[in-house]
Amino acid sequence: MSNTTASDKPTYLVEQVNANYGFFLRVEPPVYQGRTQFQDIEVFDTPMFGRVLRLDNVFQTSDRDEFFYHENMCHVPAIAHPCPRRALVIGGGDGGAAEELLKHSTMEQVVVAELDPGVVDAAKQYLGGIHRGVFDDLRLDMRIMDGKAYIETTQDRFDQIVIDLTDASGPSLALYTREFYSACRRVLGASGVLSLHVESPVAHPGTFNRIIKTLQAVFGIVRPYLVYVPTYGTLWGMACASDRVDPLACSAVEVDTRITARGLHDLQYYNGDTHRAVFVQPNFVRALLEINVPPFTSEDLVSSEVIPTEERGKLVLKQT
The full set of domain ranges for the chain reads 6-63, 66-289
Q: Is the CB of residue 248 less than 8 Å from the CB of residue 223? A: yes
How many angstroms separate the CA atoms of 89 and 78, rounded? 13
In this prediction, residue 100 carries a pLDDT of: 98
Q: Which residues are catalytic?
A: 164
Phi/psi at 129 (5° precision): -70, -15
Instruction: Give bridge partners of residue 250 from the DSSP assignment.
Output: none
How many angstroms separate the CA atoms of 24 and 5, rounded? 22
Q: pLDDT digit string (tens) for 49-106?
A: 999 999 999 999 999 999 999 999 999 999 999 999 999 999 999 999 999 999 999 9
Could you tell me the sign of the dihedral formed by the alpha carbons of 131, 87, 296, 68, in that order? negative
How many angstroms separate the CA atoms of 269 and 309, rounded? 29
237 or 305, which is more confident: 237
DSSP label of 297: B
Report the topology of domain 66-289: Rossmann fold (3.40.50)
In this prediction, residue 313 carries a pLDDT of: 58
187 or 308, which is more confident: 187
Q: Interhelix angle for 205-216 vs 178-187, to 10°?
A: 50
Q: Beta-strand (E) ranges in the chain?
A: 11-16, 22-27, 32-35, 40-46, 50-55, 58-62, 86-91, 109-114, 140-144, 158-164, 188-197, 221-229, 234-242
Q: pLDDT digit string (tens) for 219-234?
A: 999 999 999 999 999 9
For residue 190, the one-letter residue type is: A
Q: pLDDT digit string (tens) for 31-50?
A: 999 999 999 999 999 999 99
Within 10 angstroms of residue 9's Cβ, the number of other Cβ atoms is: 9
Asked if residue 310 has pLDDT above 90, the reply is: no
Q: Would you say domain 6-63 falls under CATH 2.30.140.10? A: yes
In this prediction, residue 307 carries a pLDDT of: 62
Provide the mean pLDDT of the chain. 93
Asked if residue 28 has pLDDT above 60, the reply is: yes
